[in-house]
Amino acid sequence: MIIQNVTLRNFRNYKYSSIDFYQGMNVITGKNAQGKTNLLESLVYLSLTRSHRILDDKQLIKKGELFSDIKCTFLDGEKSNEIECVIHLKGKTLLVRHQPVKKSSEFVGMLNVVLFSPDDLNIFSDFPKERRKVMDQEISKISNTYLLALSKFQTTLKQRNSLLKQQTVNQLLLDTLDENISKYEFMIIQERKNFIDSIDSYITNIYHRLSDDPVDVHLKYKCCLDSDISYENILLGHRNNRQKDIENHVTSFGIHREDMLFEMNHEPLIQISSQGQKRMTVLSFKMALLNFITKQTHKQPVLLLDDVLSELDYGRQKKLIEMVSKSYQCIITTTEIPEFLKNENMKIFKVADGNIINTTGGNV
């Protein structure tokens, strides 16, 4: 996948900007608070139909304006594609090749990007909910079945919880809800397991390619089932917890209680790793994600690196760029361009106060 152009209108601090990207490395430079992350955020928004930074889309509209518009043309294999999102004060309109689409599931994942930013370090300290969000977000980008199963699961969970809050619980209705919810959870668990096993199979190897630290890093699935993954076992899980659920008025068993855990040398990583090791682990996780998406979709996602280089030592910066620059289109933001990057074939852009210009500094 190659992003050819992004046009922003009234997005964050951009009034109007049209940016033509190079198929390889693109470096966005500029002082603090000029619009570097905002540009990456617009691409994340098109990929997920939501921002990675905020929940309220209205904050994306330039102050004093009534709407915001992000348009992107990209190559999907040989095919040129165009997607657009208009954010209004009361919602958003998604367009594919100028035609509005009704469901965001038809839009999510058309443009596939993987972002790595310093905030990703929170993955270790956040609550399980945040790690489930990472799983759900990444799997949804490559699997529509997952996205639909997840949305049906959430609706059914709400119905089940409101039934549990009633004074007399209709057991027949609960039976039906349990059968439905177990069906969706079975699909979700299989996909989560495939995702985590796949990432786990790449992560240690990538870690060792990026650094000479000889630790073993793993990602483990904390599934709600201890036994074999089957529809029957999930249903049994709900049945076994039914009495407790009725007493507490809430669903205690299920995929909404799951987690994924990072381990270092077979111990919980959070307990034993240094700050640098955490940074390398999350970077390896993101690189493994690139492999996973490429394998599943047969298309390379675009890699967005937000202010990441300054956090790594010189050797690791070089290894990271060597690893990704041959295979992926990269958009990198940085306040200072490292010396070694200046020899690469790349396009350099300078951002100042929401204005972007392609400088003559790059080699393309």
Give the binding site for ligand ATP (CB under 6 A).
Answer: 12-13, 30, 32-38, 59, 61-63, 307, 335
- DSSP string for residues in 224-285: S-SS---HHHHHHHHHHTHHHHHHHTS--SSGGG-EEEEEETTEEHHHH--HHHHHHHHHHH
The footprint of Mg ion on this chain (CB under 5 A) covers a number of residues equal to 2
Cβ proximity to ligand ATP, 109 vs 354, nearer residue: 354
* Closest distance of CB 306 from Mg ion, Å: 6
SS3 48: helix
Residue 33 or 250: which CB sits closer to ligand ATP? 33
CB of 34 to Mg ion, least distance (A): 9
Q: Position 207: which residue type?
A: Y
Residue (61 or 324) nearer to ligand ATP, CB: 61
Distance between CA 270 and CA 142 in Å, rounded? Answer: 29
- For the bound state, the minimum distance from the C-beta of residue 67 to ligand ATP, rounded and expressed in Å, comes to 12
Residue 62 binding result from Mg ion, ligand ATP, none, given CB thresholds of 5 to 8 Å by partner type = ligand ATP
For the CB of residue 52, give the shortest distance to ligand ATP in the complex, in Å: 12
Phi and psi angles of residue 75, each rounded to the nearest 5 degrees, phi first: -95, 125
Nearest to 157, CA basis, from 140, 127, 133, 182: 182
Quick one: 38 or 284, whose CB is closer to Mg ion?
38
Nearest C-alpha neighbor of 312 from the set 284, 342, 348: 284
Q: Indicate whether 37 belongs to the interface with Mg ion (CB under 5 A).
A: yes
Which of Mg ion, ligand ATP, none lies near 38, with the C-beta cut-off 5 to 8 A by kind? ligand ATP
Shortest Cβ distance from residue 30 to Mg ion (Å)?
9
Output the smallest distance, CB 323 to Mg ion, in A: 23
34 binds Mg ion (CB under 5 A): no
Gap between the Cα atoms of 324 and 317, Å rounded: 11
Say whether residue 117 binds Mg ion (CB under 5 A): no
Q: Is 261 exposed, middle or buried (0-12, 13-18, 19+ CB in 10 A)?
A: middle
Residue closer to ligand ATP by CB (options 112, 117) is: 117
Alpha-carbon span 66 to 60, nearest angstrom: 11
43 vs 114: CA distance, rounded Å: 10
Scan residues 60-99 and list those touching Mg ion (CB under 5 A): none
Tell me whether residue 120 or residue 307 sits nearer to ligand ATP (CB atom).
307
CA 94: distance to chain centroid?
Answer: 19
Q: How many CA atoms lie within 13 A of 16 on its CB side?
A: 0
Nearer to ligand ATP, 33 or 272 (CB): 33
Of ligand ATP, Mg ion, none, which one does residue 266 interact with (CB within 5 to 8 Å by kind)? Answer: none
The torsion angles phi and psi of 283, rounded to 5 degrees, stand at: -65, -45
Token code pair at residue 360: 């003559």
CB of 6 to ligand ATP, least distance (A): 14
How far apart CA 336 and CA 307 sit, in angstroms, is 10
CB of 333 to ligand ATP, least distance (A): 6
**Using CB distances below 5 to 8 A depending on partner kind, what does residue 63 bind out of Mg ion, ligand ATP, none?**
ligand ATP
Using CB under 5 A, list all residues that contact Mg ion. Answer: 36-37
